[in-house]
Amino acid sequence: MSIQRQTIIWAVVIATFILLLWLLKGILLPFVAGMAIAYFLDPLADRLESYGLSRLAATATITVFFLLIAVVLMIVLVPVLYNQSIALVEIFPSLMQRGQEWLLTVGDGVIGRLLGVEGQDVEQAIKQSLGGSLDWLVNLLTSVGSQGLQIVGLISLIVVTPVVAFYLLLDWDRMVERVDTLLPRDHAETIRRLSREINEVLAGFIRGQVIVCLVLGTIYAVGLTLVGLKFGLIVGIVAGIISFIPYLGTILGFIVGIALALFQFGTDFVQVGLVIGVFAIGQFIEGNFLSPKLVGDRVKLHPVWVMFAIFAFAALFGFVGALLALPVAAALGVLARFATGQYRKSQLYLGSSPGNIIPPRDTDS
């Protein structure tokens, strides 16, 4: 079969996959989430199998263990997080008012010059600006609620995802073997090699980043609670979860934490400094120990590429796209390096002169 015909077939397959993903994105969330969980836990199931357990026993053991953890967390943390979330929503208007007063007091004439207004118009301009921000936030929360937190969708995520994860984890190795038998024979070895590289990049990033998120979430939640920040637990946990997107969790957590600290402690800059210190300690540990040891350069996924992939796929396919962003980003990175290597060996790059041959070099990006 000619290269052109193979290219057309693969292009049609990829286009069909994207079209189906677009059409079915409303029901795919529990299935994609279940697949992600099964992928993440497959090495643990393999390890239990090496100790003599059957695949069914290993899968059942993992499932029961994580269900117990989920139940304990729901009993211990969910009530506290729920109460803090409700309280945070209730004080949000007061927080906006305090921020407005602070801007008027501290900013003085600087705010007026920045907003292009003078005198009494400064207060009105700030009110309009904050009002617009509040309207945008309310619209965003309404949009998220209508799209991602509908009762049916939430129930399907809670009930269907564990079932999907259980069966996929049980049959994971058999599914991989079945796919392997369907590979085109002429390119089977190349596809297997690229798949191993994608798996190494993806597994390294996900496992490393999950541990980073857990450690950062614990540091922020415990630290902010110990320094006396009223909503420190929920701010720390959310910041740790969002830290799966490099830098974003810390930035958002820092902004919200400082805003809450100023609202709660006012001009007590010692307490505000302690809140800043919690985030500084978390970033020091993450930058000097966690990321270099757990993620590192071997993962070959640039933080900017990760952020772009997550936001782009989330915009196109919603939360399902956000879950698929990392596998796609890892695959595209490996394929880009493979294509670059092939290009550097090709006549298009080398030309016809023997003197143009250049030794290969690392093309990681």
83: containing domain: 30-182
| Within-domain flag for 217 | no
Taking phi over 0 as left and psi of -120 to 50 as alpha, with beta for the rest, 300 belongs to left
Instruction: Measure the N-to-C terminal CA separation of the chain; round to a whole number of Å.
Output: 33
| Within-domain flag for 18 | no
**pTM greater than the 0.85 cutoff:** no
Place 279 in a pLDDT band, splitting at 50, 70 and 90.
Answer: very high
Distance set, CA 72 to CA 69, 222, 251 (Å):
5, 18, 30
Domain count of the fold of the chain? 1
Place 222 in a pLDDT band, splitting at 50, 70 and 90.
Answer: very high
Residue 211's identity, in one-letter code, is: I
| Within-domain flag for 105 | yes
Neighbours of 176 (CB within 10 A): 11
| Within-domain flag for 209 | no
246-265 pLDDT tens trace: 777 888 888 888 888 888 88
Backbone angles phi, psi at 196, to 5 degrees: -65, -40
**Secondary-structure percent of the chain, ordered helix, strand, coil, rounded to 5:** 85, 0, 15
32-53 pLDDT tens trace: 888 888 988 898 999 999 999 9
- Let me know how long the chain is: 365
285-303 pLDDT tens trace: 887 887 777 665 556 667 7
Q: What percent of the chain has pLDDT over 90?
A: 13
Instruction: Flag whether pLDDT at 365 surpasses 50.
Output: no
| Within-domain flag for 16 | no
| Within-domain flag for 81 | yes
